[in-house]
């Protein structure tokens, strides 16, 4: 089995230079780095992770903890995989590894910090929690555990988080329908008494504020509440819309793409034309929306960018003692046009 000394001899450099390349340090000339990497490849050298951990105090691995179960729901899978893609991109560039724990999807009282306490990871990115439990937040804060939370905003200033600007996105979605000629715009939302989703609720706040600020026509009948955020609930929302008769909105904003796709499919199955009879826009930008006929207009979350930035924030926490420094980011959603609004 090849060693760092073998790599140094093959590349014609010092042992320390090989160590710098292996550990992803920047103080190596690019031509020298390429020679070392070529020697590593030719000799099939693999760094000893345990030795690196003993020398640096780090294992070189990021943990991702999520309640999302893989391969159970396309939309949830897409959300998680897109964020993981960004984290993994950062890991490739920085010679780090990635461990994913879905224990929170199955255990009633999971130990969300298990990976860190067992020294399997240097820090944790939390993905897909509506609320990370306060006991976990307090432990992270008290023990200064390097952590980043995606799509939640904890109260401690020293705990990094990344979220999306759903209030502004809700307003933009409404503006798009107005710009496409809609006179009466309704919304499809989950029932806040049945389930909690702060992203959806913020989207509704942005829509409601714009309706009020622009003094737009509005009827409470145009707010359709459904039990959850699934295709079936989107179909249910369509029938509620249909039953409004002459008071139907000519544009519908759905809380996520699943609701929008379910609404459109049920509309077409019942002889309602989209966008001629009703225009529909969603949120999130899942691939299924592109496959739909008509293709879905939607507000797209920058999921991969959020993952990459989370890894950057985590690295900053792991390498700095300045835990009082606030690392937060609110990222915009972008409009992706589709024939579902004309």
pLDDT (tens digit per residue) in 271-292 = 999 999 999 999 999 999 999 9
pLDDT at residue 197 tops 70: yes
Residue 262 to residues 233, 236, 272, 296, 318: CA-CA distances in angstroms? 7, 8, 13, 11, 43
CA distance 317 to 319: 6
Whether residue 259 is preceded by a cis peptide bond, meaning omega within 30 degrees of 0, is no
The residue ranking higher by pLDDT, 36 or 108, is 36
Residue 340 to residues 135, 266, 291: CA-CA distances in angstroms? 44, 14, 12
The pLDDT of residue 116 is 92
Grade residue 52 by pLDDT with cuts at 50, 70 and 90.
low
The residue ranking higher by pLDDT, 121 or 73, is 121
The pLDDT of residue 18 is 87
Fold for 166-301+337-341, please state it: Rossmann fold (3.40.50)
The pLDDT of residue 152 is 87
pLDDT at residue 25 tops 80: no
Most confident listed range (98-112, 150-164, 199-213): 199-213
CA distance 219 to 222: 6
- Tell the CATH superfamily of the 4-47 domain: lambda repressor-like DNA-binding domains (1.10.260.40)
CA distance 321 to 275: 55
**Closest C-alpha to 99, from 76, 127, 135, 140:** 127
Global pTM reads 0.82
H helical segments located in 216-325 = 231-242, 257-269, 288-291, 303-319
The pLDDT of residue 51 is 56
Q: What percent of the chain has pLDDT over 70?
A: 92
Pick the CATH number of 61-164+303-331 from 3.30.360.10, 3.40.50.300, 3.30.750.24, 3.40.50.2300: 3.40.50.2300
| Residue range(s) of every CATH 1.10.260.40 domain in the chain | 4-47
Grade residue 108 by pLDDT with cuts at 50, 70 and 90.
confident
Instruction: Work out whether strand 279-284 and strand 251-254 pair parallel, antiparallel, or are unpaired.
Output: parallel
| Residue range(s) of every CATH 3.40.50.2300 domain in the chain | 61-164+303-331, 166-301+337-341
- Rg for the chain, CA atoms, rounded: 24
């Amino acid at each position: 089995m090849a060693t760092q000394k073998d790599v140094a001899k093959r590349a014609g450099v010092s042992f320390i230079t090989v160590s710098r390349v292996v550990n992803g340090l920047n103080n190596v000339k690019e031509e020298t780095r390429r020679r070392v990497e070529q020697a590593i490849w030719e000799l099939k050298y693999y760094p000893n992770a345990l030795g690196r951990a003993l020398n640096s105090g780090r294992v070189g691995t990021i943990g991702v903890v999520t309640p999302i179960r893989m391969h159970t729901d396309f939309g949830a899978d897409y959300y998680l995989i897109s964020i993981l893609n960004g984290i993994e991109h950062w890991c490739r560039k920085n010679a780090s590894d990635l461990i994913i724990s879905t224990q929170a999807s199955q255990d009633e009282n999971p130990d969300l910090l298990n990976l860190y306490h067992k020294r399997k990871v240097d820090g944790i990115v939390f993905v897909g929690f509506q609320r990370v439990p306060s006991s976990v937040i307090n432990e992270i804060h008290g023990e200064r555990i390097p952590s980043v939370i995606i799509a939640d905003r904890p109260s401690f200033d020293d705990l990094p988080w990344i979220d999306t600007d759903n209030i502004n996105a809700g307003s933009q979605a409404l503006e798009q329908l107005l710009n496409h000629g809609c006179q009466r715009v309704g919304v499809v939302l989950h029932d806040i008494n049945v389930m909690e989703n702060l992203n959806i609720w913020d989207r509704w706040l942005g829509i409601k504020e714009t309706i009020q600020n622009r003094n737009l026509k509005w009827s409470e009948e145009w707010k359709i509440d459904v039990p959850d955020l699934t295709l079936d609930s989107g179909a249910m929302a369509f029938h509620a819309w249909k039953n409004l008769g002459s008071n139907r909105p000519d544009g519908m904003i759905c809380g996520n793409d699943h609701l929008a796709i379910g609404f459109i499919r049920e509309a077409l199955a019942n002889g309602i034309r989209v966008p001629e009879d009703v225009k529909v826009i969603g949120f999130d930008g899942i691939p299924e929306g592109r496959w739909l006929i008509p293709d879905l207009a939607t507000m797209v979350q920058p999921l991969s960018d959020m993952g990459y930035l989370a890894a950057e924030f985590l690295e900053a926490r792991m390498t700095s003692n300045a835990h009082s420094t606030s690392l937060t980011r609110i990222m915009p959603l972008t409009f992706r046009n589709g024939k579902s609004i004309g």
